[in-house]
Amino acid sequence: KQEVTQIPAALSVPEGENLVLNCSFTDSAIYNLQWFRQDPGKGLTSLLLIQSSQREQTSGRLNASLDKSSGRSTLYIAASQPGDSATYLCAAGRGDDYKLSFGAGTTVTVRA
Amino acid sequence: DVKVTQSSRYLVKRTGEKVFLECVQDMDHENMFWYRQDPGLGLRLIYFSYDVKMKEKGDIPEGYSVSREKKERFSLILESASTNQTSMYLCASSLDNEQFFGPGTRLTVL
């Protein structure tokens, strides 16, 4: 069974600092890896999707990398802003049944 | 843009009531999912459906059932609501393993 871990559970940084969020998974035979953002009391917003054949994906200030051999993905957020404060979740997809295995998330606070 | 909508943002029900949570997606996705999210437990899959009238149990199906009569609509049913079903319920649809979520329904069972 795929286990997805996100450490640390919470992170606080001053505005302008670059954010590095970690995601590790136990089964390297993943189909893809998806990063989400969740604001308090809201649903999940998809940020980036990395297919298993890709090493990274970029969207604006966000960059996500994938290293299947080491079972890791990293989400980088450049020049953080208070509006980036949220919980970030990663999820690994198996492909054969369309289900995702979710991490517990990292709650980020960007201090103005 | 993919749009997934859920019938209610907040819902308060009494123990023993039958509760219906509705989810609609507008992107013709084959797959739809129902999760619940609780502090400290993360997202847990209740049921999913990969086609009309098809359904499969997730990790915590007890106390729930689902209905998918049309491709765009996936309903979660609590046959007899209990206080331990107080939670945030999230619906998602997917295309090729990329999941898109609705805004969530915060259900409180008194």
B46 inside 8 A of chain A by CB = no
* B10-54: pLDDT as tens digits: 999 999 999 999 999 999 999 999 999 999 888 999 999 999 989
Per-residue pLDDT, A26? 94
* A41-79: pLDDT as tens digits: 999 999 999 999 999 999 999 999 999 999 999 999 999
Integer CA distances (angstroms), B97 to A9, A36, A80, in order: 25, 14, 29
B48 inside 8 A of chain A by CB = yes
Integer CA distances (angstroms), A56 to A61, A67, B77, in order: 13, 9, 39
* A70-95: pLDDT as tens digits: 999 999 999 999 999 999 999 999 87
Residues of A with CB under 8 A from a CB of B: 31-32, 34, 36, 41-46, 49, 89, 91, 93, 95, 98-100, 102-105
Per-residue pLDDT, B110? 97
Report the side by side order of strands in the sheet with A4-5. A4-5, A19-25, A72-77, A62-67, A56-59
Per-residue pLDDT, A78? 97
In 3D space, the residue among B76, B108, B80 whose CA is nearest the CA of residue B7 turns out to be: B76
Contact residues, chain A, for B106 at CB < 8 Å: 41
Mean pLDDT of B55-68: 96
